[in-house]
Structure 1
Amino acid sequence: MATEALLGEAFSDHGFDVEAFEVVPAERVHDPVGDVAFPDPTGYDVIVPLGATWAVYDEALRDSWVGAEMALMRDAAEAGTALLGVCFGGQLLAQTFGGTVARSPHPEIGWYDVVSDRPDLVPEGPWFQWHFDRWSLPPGATELARTANSSQAFVLGRTMALQFHPEVDADLLEVWLAEDRDGDVVALGSTHDELLSRTAELADDVAARIRLLVQGFLTYTAAQPRPS
């Protein structure tokens, strides 16, 4: 499961109080279907739905908490709350606002170069990926960035979605790799040691770029006019 990690630090640096909400507890990770009582979205300036190991289009999940979270995202957007989705969270936003999400023919795990049309919003460079699905853009959305395999970022009003994981540091990656029981990393041609080594090499660069990313989101996306 994802945590806010570096992303939380970047928001804190901009003066935000960061509050985490666990949707599926660790003891239910293999049985994630169930009702969730989400907090009132109008009590927050920014909501950041993060990553997860499931598919946003899973029908059983859509009939339970994924559907409820989509409704929360719509309510938040209508109230003027800024939204920043990460990986599963980005796919959730795409699906919420009329795009589609489906299995990708080219899954991505590891560090991939992301090409950006708006480096002031989404800095270019290697960003960490761990996903098997990809989105189609919601109506009215503008794509900001991409890899050769999938769209990587879009904006829609006060909403921005990211396919990559800007929050990843070595500590968080070690947790994910410990849960890689199916050998997804090796299946896609890498090793755990290679990913950890590359993550360490990029640590300072990523820390700088994630602060630019959050600054761009707050300056351009979150500053868009609120719905009337």
Structure 2
Amino acid sequence: MSGPRVLLIEHERATPAGLVAEWLDVHDADVHIVPIDEGATPDPVGSYELIVALGSEFSAYDDHLPWLGKELELMREASRADIPILGICFGGQLLARALGGEVFRAAEAEIGWFGVESERDDLIPAGPWFQWHFDTFSVPAPATRLAHNHIGPQAFSHGRSLGVQFHPEVGVEIMENWAVVYKHELDEHGVSADELLERTRAVADDATKVSWALLEGFYERIAQLGKGRTT
């Protein structure tokens, strides 16, 4: 059985798909990477069976970004067409906004490995999950909150789509890069890059297991991509 045709939206080169790319490869997905911040244009939405929107250092309310409005409309069009979306961190916030939610500055920054309070632990394991964000969002009215913490919502679903605030794609390699590229943010918020890397290495195996469980649950039970597909 052939895998789904996937639109993978990158918002900057430093935020690759990581573990999500490995998961898509296992499902033999036909992945089309579109660096939307560089002006790249995806194929018509209807040509994809899944859309994955990754993270970004930008905010989902930065309307001056020339591509932001286009991505919002792409998500709305996909939702109307019942094409599943997996939104991660910035991508999850943008999905919330596309569905009618609000995105705004969080009461505090969240950087590091944390657990979440899951309303559906069969879909969203408690963690550990990696967090690196300064904004949060309201769950849009038509959606269902699946997890939260004291900062705000951590996961929600709407139809065949899932938005998460945390980073299921992050492993040691990505973190080693982020500790260099975004060191100014770590310094600004008093987070030790060395300690963050040490913690990442310590939880890597457990984090991979919960990420895989979430991704498989999304694929089979929310997006329903494992059922009724043709070769």
Query: Which range, TM-score by smaller chain?
Result: 0.7 to 0.9
Distance 2:209 2:30 in 1: 20
Structure-2 residue corresponding to 1:31:
none
How much has 1:36 moved relative to structure 2? 4.9
Deviation, structure 1 residue 120? 1.7
CA contact (8 A) 2:120 2:146 kept: yes
Could you tell me how far apart the structure 1 residues matched to 2:159 and 2:138 are?
17
Deviation at 1:133, TM superposition (A): 0.3
Pick from 78, 83, 87: which aligns with 1:81?
83
The equivalent of 2:64 in structure 1 is 60
Equivalence for 2:9: none
1:201 aligns with 2:229: no
- Equivalent residues in 2 for 1:110-121 (5 A)? 110-121=112-123
1:135-185: CA deviation from partner (whole Å, max 9, x where unpaired):
001111111011221210000111110000110111111221212252x22
Q: What secondary structure does 2:72 align onto?
A: helix
Matched, 1:152 2:154: yes
Q: What is residue 30 of structure 1 aligned with on the other side? A: none
Secondary structure, counterpart of 1:143 in structure 2: strand
- Is 1:115–1:125's contact at 8 Å kept on the other side of the alignment? no
AA aligned to 1:214 is L
Structure-2-length-normalised TM-score: 0.86
Structure 2 spans left out of the alignment, 5+ residues: 1-13, 226-231
C-alpha RMSD over aligned residues: 1.6
**Residue in 2 that maps onto 1:32:** none
C-alpha contact (below 8 Å) 1:127/1:166 kept by paired residues: yes
Unmatched segments (≥5 aa) in structure 1: 26-34
SS in 1 for 2:116: strand
Q: Which moved more, 1:153-162 or 1:75-84?
A: 75-84
Aligned to 1:29: none
- Paired residues for 1:171-210 under 5 Å: 171-182=173-184, 184-210=185-211
> In the alignment, which residue of structure 2 is the partner of 1:51?
55
| 2:102/2:138 contact within 8 Å kept | yes
Match of 2:15 in 1: 2
Name the % identity: 41
* Deviation readout 1:105-160 (Å, 9 max, x if unpaired): 11101111112111221111210011000000111111101122121000011111
> Is the CA contact (8 Å cut-off) linking 1:91 and 1:163 kept in structure 2?
yes
Match of 2:8 in 1: none
**Contact 2:128 2:206 survives alignment (8 Å):** no
Letter in 1 for 2:27: H
> Deviation at 1:91?
0.5
Q: 1:126 aligns with which of 125, 128, 148?
A: 128
Counterpart in 2 of 1:106?
Answer: 108
In the alignment, the residues of structure 1 paired with residue 24 and residue 41 of structure 2 have an alpha-carbon distance, to the nearest angstrom, of 25
Tell me the CA shift for residue 24 of structure 1: 2.0
Match of 2:218 in 1: 217
Q: Runs of 4 or more off by more than 4 Å in structure 1?
A: none
Decide whether the 8 Å contact of 2:63 with 2:69 is kept in 1.
Answer: no
